[in-house]
Amino acid sequence: MTVMDAGLHAEIAAFIEDEARLLDDQDFAAWLDLFDDDCRYWVPISRDQKAPGDGVAHFNDEKQLMAARTHRLMNPRAFGAEPSPRTAHVVSGVRIDRVDANGGLVVSSSQIVIEYRRRDRFEADSRVFGGRFTHRLRRDGTNWRITEKRVDLINAVGSMNALAAPF
């Protein structure tokens, strides 16, 4: 059941938008700081996957791998990410789906991610991804921390070309 608290909703919607904006700004250090140390960033290949151990995934990252990925994105010798892809996230429909037993929140949103990486391949240099994003948040003092970010792409089951930028 959706949680209807206008003040909380506005605070959470701003948090989700800010998180996406940090990715668009390639401010990866600040982005990583939003996540718990034992967090999970997960892009499954199917909505049927209940837990990351159920099967293979596009992304199934502990924080260490998130850090290595984003460090690599800024490395000019990372051939698969040079030039580094740029993204524009469009965030919409943020909902607080429920409050868990510990006061943590499950938040869903619809997001479109437009990605551009200059590779001299004309139209193929731009791609559009989209789907349902689910964040699990826990209160940390006056801030929120992300314990899990799950991205269910509408084309999750499809065949992907190289993916470098986090959604």
Partner 1 sequence: MEPSVEAQARADYPAPDSTAQDNTALDNTAPDNTAPDYNALVRPSAVHRSVYTDPAIFAAEMRAIFGRGWIYLAHDSEVSQAGDYVTRHIGTTGVIVTRDRDGAIHAIANRCAHRGATLCAFDKGSAPAGHICPYHGWNFTADGRLKNVPNRANYDGVLDLADHGIKPVRLESYRGFLFGTLDDAIVPLVDFLGHMATSIDDLVDRSPSGRVTCSPFVLRHHYRGNWKLSFENLNDTIHPGFAHSASVTSAKHVAKTLADDQPLVASLGMMLANGKPLQFFQDLDMVVSPRGHSYIGGHMGANYMPDTESEYALALIAHHGEAEAARILGVDRHLMLLYPSSTWHARYQTVRIVRPVRHDLTEIIGFTFRLEGAPEETFRNAVEYCTGANSAASPVIADDLELYERIMDGNGCGASANENSEWVPIGRGLHEDRETTPGFTRTPATSEAFIRNQFVAWAAYMGGPA
Of 129, 132, 138, 131, the C-alpha closest to 165 is 129
Q: What's the length of the chain?
A: 167
Counting contacts by CB under 8 A, is residue 159 touching partner 1?
A: yes
Query: Segment contacting partner 1 (CB under 8 A): 10-18, 65-73, 99-107, 140-148?
Result: 65-73
Q: Shortest gap between Cβ of 112 and partner 1 (angstroms)? A: 18
Residue whose CB is less far from partner 1, 3 or 32: 32
Contacts (Cβ under 8 Å, ≥6 apart) of 64: none
Residue carrying structure tokens 């938040």: 107
- Interface with partner 1: number of residues (CB under 8 A): 37
Distance (Å, whole) CA 137 – CA 101: 12
Q: Is 127:115 a contact under the CB 8 Å cutoff?
A: yes
Which residues 17-46 are close enough to bind partner 1 by CB under 8 A?
43, 45-46
> Does residue 93 bind partner 1 (CB under 8 A)?
no
- Tell me: does residue 147 bind partner 1 (CB under 8 A): no
Encoding tokens for residue 145? 């921390």
Please report whether residue 126 would count as binding partner 1 according to CB under 8 A. Answer: no
Stretches 91-99, 106-114, 131-139, 152-160: which one binds partner 1 (CB under 8 A)? 152-160
How many Å apart are CA 160 and CA 141, to the nearest integer? 40
* Binding region for partner 1 (CB under 8 A): 43, 45-46, 49, 53-62, 64-65, 67-69, 71-72, 75, 77-81, 119, 124, 157-164
